[in-house]
Amino acid sequence: MTPLGDERGGSGSREGLTYTDQEPVATVSLQRKPPSNVWNERVNSDGFHDSFIDAVLNAVRGRTYIESHSALEEAGVNALNGSYRTLILRTAKGDEDAM
């Protein structure tokens, strides 16, 4: 991942963020599609789902549900007055109703 305005590529740190090169998790073809279609294609790909769930599970491993919820809040996940945090945790834990 290369942050906007940074042409160096590779691994490094910038403004408190640490980034590293990662393997692609999905391929998106623009082919004159509206941005909403491109976004839907991306977030609905298996690679994106798997990477997202792995990232959440790694972030909350060894924490109770309340601790996990708080960790996501501290990370800035605050959409829908906190309901999004609950949905993320339920989805990552395999709750089919949350998906």
pLDDT tens by residue, 71-80: 888 888 887 7
Summarize the confidence of residues 74-98 as an average pLDDT. Answer: 80
Quote the pLDDT of residue 99: 62
Element housing 84 (H / E): helix 83-92
Q: How far is CA 81 from the centre of its chain?
A: 18
Q: How many CB atoms lie within 10 A of CB 91?
A: 17
Kindly indicate the confidence band of residue 11, based on its pLDDT and cuts at 50, 70 and 90: low
Element housing 1 (H / E): none
pLDDT tens by residue, 20-64: 787 877 776 777 888 888 888 878 888 888 888 888 888 888 888
Quote the pLDDT of residue 1: 38
- For residues 91 and 17, what is the distance between their CA atoms, to the nearest angstrom? 26
Residue spans per domain, the chain: 1-32, 45-98
